[in-house]
Each structure stands twice: as C-alpha cells, then as structure tokens.
C-alpha cells in the first residue's frame, strides 16, 4: 500500500514490525488493543468499522461531549476506513483488499464471519499468506464457543476474580477491563509469533503460509494463573482471596500510614526481610525462628503483619518512605493517575506521551512498551474519525471517486 507520509501514523516509520500490514476489523477493546500494540512496534494498521460508527468503544467512558476519548487512545496509530462486509459489495471489497495485508484481526462470535460468507477458506483463497487472529471469549471450539463475553466474564470464569477481594466479603472486579487488556497482549504476541514464523519460512526459501490463531480471552487470563492447578492437584489447596495480603510470600501487604496514605510493601526474600526488621526498629525479629524463611513467615502471617501494620500506623508517610528507602525495601505509595503524571521518574522516562489529535490538539497516553534500541518514533496520532481515510485508502485500491460515492449512498462505506 502506497500512501503519503501525511497519512502514515508516525509510529509506523520504523520498528521491529515495520513492513507488517494489519487489517483490524475487531470491535471494542481486546483485539483492537492487540493491533495497536503492533502499530506501536511499527506495523501498518488499518482500522475497519461500520459506516455508522457504532463500534461500542466510541461510546464507552471516558467520553467528552461527542469526542470518544477511549477510542482515541486505544486505536492510536491507525488509519481509519469504513466498510459493511455483511453486504455483497462490502464483502467483495474486503476480499479485494486482503492481498495487501499480512494479518486480519477479528473478534466476532465464533462462526459469524462464516455466516457472512467470509469463512477461513474464502479469506485464504483471497490471500494464502494471510494470518487470521480470532480473539473470542471462549475460543473457536468447545461447548461455550458461541457464547458472548466481556472482560468481567473472562475474569470470573478464569479464576482471576476469585483471588481478589476480602476473605470476609465477595470476590471483587477491578474498575477496569483487565481481561480485555490481557487478551490484547496475547493477541499482539500471537501476531508477532506468526510474523516471526513467516519470516523464518521466507529465510529458508519456503513459501510463507498464513496461520489461523484461535485466542480465547478466558484462557489468556487462566494462563497467568500458572501454579493454581498444580497447587490443587499436589497439595489439595484451592487458592482464595486474601484481601491485599499475599499468602505465598511474606510480608507482602498494603499498610496505612498515620496520615492516611496506603503503601504496598514486599519484603519476601530473607535479606530484604532482615533489612525491614532494622528499618522498623525490630532487629530481633530477623533471628526469630518463626520468620527465618519465607515458608516460616507465611505460616505466621498474622503475627508478622500485626507488627508491620503497627509500625506503619505510628508514622507519617514521609517518615515511612525515608526509613524504607534508606534500607532498600521495595515499596510504593498507591498511585492515582495524578501521582503518575507528577512523578519525576515517570517524567524522566517519558512514560506519558502526547498523541497529536485533530479535535483536542494533543492528548496524553501511555508510552510505547517495551523500548527497542533504534526504535524511537514520535508519538502516533490518536485514533481516526469514522471513515477518515476512506478517500485515500479506496483510491489506492483502484476505486474512482464516483464508485466510492455510489458505495457511500448504498451505506457500504
């Protein structure tokens, strides 16, 4: 695809995935986040949505007036086109454009594209090299394959939510769709793996073949909970919620200071625990047999936590921070977004970048992660408006302005 530098998101000028072309026809958060991460790494991503702009992400908070702030940051670095692939003309256009792409990203319920006449065989006939990322709640097979799902459903079913909350209360969801973001991370990893596979085949003189990636968001979350199955099988233990306390290492908890700040502290290794004992004025605890090793400390969590909690409660945050810092104890005050924006380390690292935006001038967003040597592009532009790049994109595909106007009248684009 050849288009002007003005239309090219800045992040796509170089990077580890430079030259990879992705067509993102997914909705909401998880799968679009996967392609955005690839765009951060240099891939060229075209965002395809319905002509009426009804992607739910455009209405998901935060929204400022009619400006979809969530959309702007989650779909950064992408060109935006519209196309209704459910209509015959739209289906034909999609198949015509597929040879220009390496990856197709979709997150419709299992079987949806098949019903629209866009089954894997049809897509692969249009482009044998095409990798298709199918990100769904429960995967392409199994009794739940056709179910709808959202982040909280994935989190609940994977066992993730069962670990969050106070033991005397209900399990708890966090106020953010973490399940979607984890699935998006696995999606980006999957695309990068498929690209590496394709490039390896090419280097060996073989014809690259497309892959079909079956990514279950529920399985992605469960994959993070690595020791739970063996813990249950071998020890008969079902890990449950424990508030802010970790039950696998100690001390590791959240404590309140005298002036009302919450601090997360981890001192699980023996050397760090010994330093902590000196920091809180209890050096004898380091030689107490109850606390001599991490397994011993876990067995005596209540007694240990009571001592640490009392020390925090007797000191203001500044005194706590000074004592813990002087003894090199891993800790952090619980940051809000305000703390993040004002923190000198985040500022020095450029952890927050400004995305150029046609409506707001620029908007803040997290930086590109991770950082590759030799890849330091300007911040990408914010997510595109509905059909913003239709004229340029479809001209590159060979459509005359009159043809595009006809398709617009038919609500195909």
Q: What is the CATH number of the domain that holds 277?
A: 3.30.1540.10
CATH number at residue 391: 3.40.50.10540
Residues 326, 359, single domain; the answer is no
The domain boundary residue, chosen from 302, 333, 364: 333
**Range of lowest pLDDT (116-120, 307-311, 370-374):** 370-374
Residues 322, 389, single domain; the answer is no
CB of 119 closer than 8 Å to CB of 113: yes
Q: What is the pLDDT of residue 321?
A: 98
Residues 174, 269, single domain; the answer is no
Task: Give the E-state strand segments of 138-242 in sequence order.
Answer: 212-216
Whether the pLDDT of residue 409 is over 60: the answer is yes
- For residue 350, the number of C-alpha atoms closer than 13 Å in the C-beta half-sphere is 12
Token pair belonging to 397: 């595909």
**How many residues comprise the chain?**
413
Residue 232 lies in a domain: no
Q: How many separate domains does the chain show?
A: 2
The predicted-structure confidence for 375-384, as pLDDT tens digits, reads as follows 888 999 999 9
Q: Report the 3 state secondary structure along 42-100.
A: CCEEEEEECCCCCCHHHHCCCEECCEEHHHHHHCCCEEEEECCCCCHHHHHHHHHHHHH
The predicted-structure confidence for 153-167, as pLDDT tens digits, reads as follows 999 999 999 999 999
Residue 126 lies in a domain: yes
Residue 356 lies in a domain: yes
Residues 283, 391, single domain; the answer is no
Residues 110, 256, single domain; the answer is no
Cβ partners under 8 Å of residue 324, min gap 6: 265, 276, 279, 331
Residues 151, 196, single domain; the answer is yes
The predicted-structure confidence for 27-72, as pLDDT tens digits, reads as follows 999 999 999 999 999 999 999 999 999 999 999 999 999 999 999 9
Residues 76, 195, single domain; the answer is yes
Residue 329 lies in a domain: yes
Residues 43, 106, single domain; the answer is yes
Mean pLDDT value of segment 118-133: 96
Q: What is the pLDDT of residue 13?
A: 61
Residues 124, 172, single domain; the answer is yes
CA atoms of 330 and 106, how far apart (whole Å): 41
**Range of lowest pLDDT (1-10, 35-44, 296-305):** 1-10
The domain boundary residue, chosen from 309, 333, 357: 333
Mean pLDDT value of segment 270-280: 97
The domain boundary residue, chosen from 280, 309, 333: 333
Q: What's the predicted TM-score (pTM) here?
A: 0.93
DSSP state of 160: S
CB of 21 closer than 8 Å to CB of 44: yes
Mean pLDDT value of segment 257-261: 97
Residue 234 lies in a domain: no
Token pair belonging to 274: 């010994």
pLDDT level of residue 201 (50, 70, 90 thresholds): confident
In percent, the amount of the chain with pLDDT more than 90 equals 92
Whether the pLDDT of residue 174 is over 50: the answer is yes
Residue 32 CA: distances (Å) to CA of 49, 72, 98, 181: 11, 12, 18, 10
Residue 31 lies in a domain: yes
Whether the pLDDT of residue 90 is over 90: the answer is yes
Full residue range of the structural domain in which residue 321 is found? 252-333
Residue 343 lies in a domain: no
**Beta strand 67-68 pairing with 63-64:** antiparallel
Q: What is the pLDDT of residue 56?
A: 97
CA atoms of 292 and 273, how far apart (whole Å): 9
The predicted-structure confidence for 339-362, as pLDDT tens digits, reads as follows 999 999 999 999 999 999 999 999
CB of 346 closer than 8 Å to CB of 364: no
Mean pLDDT value of segment 217-243: 97
Q: Report the 3 state secondary structure along 87-100.
A: CHHHHHHHHHHHHH
Mean pLDDT value of segment 108-123: 96
pLDDT level of residue 205 (50, 70, 90 thresholds): confident
CA atoms of 379 and 40, how far apart (whole Å): 9
pLDDT level of residue 304 (50, 70, 90 thresholds): very high
Mean pLDDT (the chain, rounded): 95
Residues 304, 397, single domain; the answer is no
pLDDT level of residue 78 (50, 70, 90 thresholds): very high
Residues 301, 177, single domain; the answer is no
Q: What is the pLDDT of residue 6?
A: 41
pLDDT level of residue 3 (50, 70, 90 thresholds): very low
Residues 170, 309, single domain; the answer is no
Token pair belonging to 91: 């289906």
Task: Name the residues annotated as catalytic.
Answer: 180
Residue 367 lies in a domain: yes
- For residue 154, the number of C-alpha atoms closer than 13 Å in the C-beta half-sphere is 30
């Amino acid at each position: 695809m050849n288009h002007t530098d003005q239309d090219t998101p800045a992040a796509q000028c170089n990077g580890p995935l430079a030259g990879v072309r992705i067509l993102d026809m997914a909705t909401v958060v998880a799968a679009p986040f996967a392609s955005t991460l690839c765009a951060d790494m240099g891939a060229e991503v075209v965002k395809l949505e319905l002509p009426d702009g009804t992607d739910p992400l455009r209405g998901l908070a935060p929204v400022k007036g009619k400006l979809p702030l969530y959309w702007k940051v989650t779909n950064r670095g992408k060109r935006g086109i519209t196309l209704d692939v459910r209509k015959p003309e739209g289906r034909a256009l999609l198949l015509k454009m597929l040879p220009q792409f390496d990856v197709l990203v979709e997150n419709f319920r299992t079987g949806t594209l098949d019903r629209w006449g866009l089954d894997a065989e049809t897509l692969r006939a249009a482009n044998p090299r095409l990798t298709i990322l199918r990100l769904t709640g429960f995967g392409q097979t199994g009794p739940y394959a056709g179910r709808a799902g959202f982040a909280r459903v994935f989190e609940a079913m994977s066992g993730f939510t069962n670990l969050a909350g106070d033991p005397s209360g209900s399990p708890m969801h966090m106020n953010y769709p973490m399940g979607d973001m984890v699935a998006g991370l696995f999606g980006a990893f999957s695309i990068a793996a498929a690209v590496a596979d394709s490039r390896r085949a090419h280097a060996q003189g073989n014809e690259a073949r497309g892959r079909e990636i079956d990514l279950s968001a529920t399985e992605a979350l469960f994959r993070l909970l690595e020791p739970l199955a063996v813990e249950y099988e071998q020890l008969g233990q079902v890990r449950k919620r424990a508030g802010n306390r970790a039950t696998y290492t100690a001390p590791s908890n959240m404590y309140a200071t005298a002036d009302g700040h919450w601090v997360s502290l981890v001192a699980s290794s023996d050397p760090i625990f010994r330093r902590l004992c000196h920091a809180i004025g209890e050096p004898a605890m380091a030689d107490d047999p109850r606390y001599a090793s991490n397994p011993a400390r876990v067995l005596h969590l209540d007694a240990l936590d009571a001592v640490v909690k009392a020390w925090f409660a007797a000191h203001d945050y500044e005194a706590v921070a000074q004592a813990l810092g002087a003894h090199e104890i891993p800790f952090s005050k619980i940051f809000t977004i305000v703390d993040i924006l004002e923190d000198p380390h985040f500022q020095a690292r450029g952890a927050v970048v400004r995305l150029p935006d046609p409506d707001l001038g620029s908007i803040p967003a997290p930086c590109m992660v991770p950082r590759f040597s030799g890849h330091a592009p300007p911040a990408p532009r914010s997510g595109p408006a509905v059909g913003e790049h239709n004229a340029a994109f479809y001209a590159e595909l060979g459509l005359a302005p009159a043809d595009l106007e006809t398709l617009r009248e038919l609500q195909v684009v």
